[in-house]
């Protein structure tokens, strides 16, 4: 009779065991859920991080150039191309309508791009009255460059034979963009009427422009059909813009490209360069040599010497003030230093002096520019004293020492408190290595007037500005 009493607790033990199993199972499910969510979050983070680092940095080897030329312009154009072309590193072609007669091209083959002969474009209509029919052929340089089928290409870059590129700065500028996306990068004209006539969203071909590989590949496949719809457009760059617009893409404006639709003395434009790397210069046959007492080619070679030392800092404008003499210094590194004999507000110093002439005259809009300008004083004795770049080298401490000298001496009277008593400006700086974030959110550097023992020499040091530092006149 005791057996039933001994067996009676068994159902309660089974129920307790079942409850414990349910609790354990629920606990494991919660842990599993948390682990799953954590792994999903981590995988997304890793995927995002790896997407940024899956490609090595963009280099000049990832770029293919398409240069438009013809037998009339090549005799001069090849001298410009020689300045920046690097045969051991660069790929691309110079496109001609036919083989130039009696050309020394073969003798220069070690320092110039290969020559390509453009395909026949007689089947395409051209109806712009008085315009150059060759613009159809030049427009097709885009599709014909893509059809060269180079491997490992990220960017196609196009320009004229008188477009001077700065390769390190070109690559650095392109590195801001994801080359796997569709990008059309360039700039418009400096002149309001040029943009109004053609388009504010068109990358002007003389300044050069870049197209990412995936966009260029699609563009090349549809380009001929676009050409048939736009026989009335004046130039080659207008046809490229029209077809890219049909693909739904607009221009990414990069002010380091320079169409330079101006004439005469371009000093004011270069000395007030935007706070971004200089990528290209164009129309140099229509302007004075950028350095005094030199030919155009010699002046460009001189500028490129500075570019070899510190390409990212080239033409970057830095402004500082001297309290003792109440002078204002504007350093356009590798090009010129201007010394104003008084304190000038920073926004006024950053405006380009209008030393140049408009591309065309005839109405007020023809002389309207797309950037800030200020008058160039008619009296040379009341202009800032200008010191032009002389040389730049690395010192033993690793800093760069650049020197600027007066090359134009005005017949002016002055006292010991005038900057015209100076003969040389020496500038100390560290090599500028721009990262992606600095390119995306650039900040102008600061400078200091350093103690100097020589009365005819002034020393300036360039450095990064402190977090809350203002570039302003001393109180």
> What CATH number is attached to the domain comprising 207?
3.90.550.50
Query: Same domain for 111 and 236?
Result: yes
Q: Mean pLDDT, to the nearest integer, of 131-153?
A: 97
The model's pLDDT over 92-135, given as tens digits with 9 standing for 90+, comes to 999 999 887 665 545 566 889 999 999 999 999 999 999 999 99
Residue 81 lies in a domain: yes
> If we measure between CA atoms, which residue out of 143, 148, 145 comes closest to residue 225?
143
> What CATH number is attached to the domain comprising 314?
2.70.130
Query: Same domain for 83 and 213?
Result: yes
For residues 19 and 388, the model is more confident at 388
Q: What distance separates the 2 farthest-apart alpha carbons in the chain?
A: 135
- In the chain, % of residues over pLDDT 90: 75
To the nearest whole number, what is the mean pLDDT of the chain? Answer: 89
Residue 282 lies in a domain: no
How many domains, in total, are found in the chain?
A: 2
The model's pLDDT over 384-426, given as tens digits with 9 standing for 90+, comes to 999 999 999 999 999 999 999 999 888 888 887 889 899 999 9
pLDDT at 415: 81
Q: Which residues are within 8 A (CB) of 335 and not within 5 positions of it... i.e. 6 or more apart?
A: 270, 271, 290, 303, 306, 314, 315, 388, 389
Domain end, chosen from 223, 241, 259, is at 259
Query: Same domain for 203 and 336?
Result: no
Q: Mean pLDDT, to the nearest integer, of 305-331?
A: 96
The model's pLDDT over 337-354, given as tens digits with 9 standing for 90+, comes to 999 999 999 999 999 999
Query: Same domain for 104 and 224?
Result: yes
Q: Mean pLDDT, to the nearest integer, of 370-397?
A: 93
Q: Mean pLDDT, to the nearest integer, of 318-331?
A: 94
Q: Name the band, by pLDDT with cuts 50, 70 and 90, for residue 296.
A: very high
Distance CA 363, CA 366 (A): 5
Q: Name the band, by pLDDT with cuts 50, 70 and 90, for residue 2.
A: very low
The model's pLDDT over 32-91, given as tens digits with 9 standing for 90+, comes to 666 655 554 544 433 333 334 567 999 999 999 999 999 899 999 999 999 999 999 999
Residue 398 lies in a domain: yes
Per the structure, the complete domain to which residue 321 belongs is given by: 310-463
Tokens at residue 239, please? 């046809």
Q: Mean pLDDT, to the nearest integer, of 316-320?
A: 97
What's the pTM value of the predicted model, to 2 decimals? Answer: 0.86
Residue 302 lies in a domain: no
């Amino acid at each position: 009779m005791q057996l039933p009493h001994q067996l009676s607790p068994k159902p309660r033990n089974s129920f307790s065991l079942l409850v414990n199993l349910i609790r354990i199972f629920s606990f494991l499910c919660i842990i599993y859920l948390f682990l799953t969510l954590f792994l999903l979050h981590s995988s997304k983070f890793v995927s995002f991080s790896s997407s940024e680092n899956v490609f090595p940095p963009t280099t000049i080897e990832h770029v293919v150039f398409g240069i438009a030329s013809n037998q009339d312009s090549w005799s001069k154009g090849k001298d410009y191309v020689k300045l920046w072309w690097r045969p051991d590193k660069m790929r691309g072609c110079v496109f001609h309508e036919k083989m130039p007669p009696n050309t020394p091209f073969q003798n220069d083959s070690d320092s110039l791009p290969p020559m390509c002969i453009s395909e026949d474009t007689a089947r395409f209509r051209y109806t712009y009255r008085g315009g150059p029919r060759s613009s159809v052929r030049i427009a097709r340089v885009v599709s014909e460059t893509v059809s060269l089928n180079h491997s490992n290409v990220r960017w196609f870059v196009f320009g004229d034979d008188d477009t001077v590129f700065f390769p390190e700065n070109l690559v650095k500028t392109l590195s801001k963009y994801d080359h796997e996306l569709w990008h059309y990068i360039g700039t418009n004209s400096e002149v309001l009427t040029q943009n109004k006539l053609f388009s504010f969203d068109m990358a002007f071909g003389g300044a050069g422009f870049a197209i990412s590989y995936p966009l260029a590949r699609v563009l090349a496949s549809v380009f001929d059909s676009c050409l048939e719809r736009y026989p009335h457009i004046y130039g080659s760059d207008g046809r490229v813009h029209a077809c890219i617009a049909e693909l739904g893409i607009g221009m990414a404006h990069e002010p380091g490209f320079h169409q330079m639709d101006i004439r005469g003395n371009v000093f004011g434009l270069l000395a007030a360069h935007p706070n971004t790397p200089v990528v290209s210069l164009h129309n140099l046959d229509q302007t004075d040599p950028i350095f005094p007492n030199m030919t155009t080619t010699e002046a460009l070679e001189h500028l490129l010497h500075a570019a070899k030392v510190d390409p990212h800092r080239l033409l970057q404008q830095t402004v500082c003030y001297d309290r003792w003499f109440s002078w204002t210094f504007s350093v356009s590194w590798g090009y010129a230093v201007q010394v104003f004999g008084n304190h000038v507000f920073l926004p006024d110093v950053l405006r380009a002096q209008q030393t140049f002439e408009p591309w065309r005259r005839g109405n007020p809009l023809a002389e309207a520019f797309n950037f800030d300008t200020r008058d160039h004083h008619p009296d040379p004795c009341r202009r800032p004293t200008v010191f032009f770049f002389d040389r730049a080298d690395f010192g033993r401490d690793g800093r760069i020492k650049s020197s600027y000298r007066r090359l134009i001496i005005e017949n002016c009277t002055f006292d010991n408190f005038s900057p015209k008593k100076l003969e040389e400006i020496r500038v100390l700086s560290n090599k500028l290595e721009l990262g992606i974030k600095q390119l995306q959110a650039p900040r102008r550097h600061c400078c200091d007037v350093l103690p100097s023992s020589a009365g005819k020499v002034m020393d300036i040091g360039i450095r990064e500005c402190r977090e809350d530092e203002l570039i302003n006149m001393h109180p």
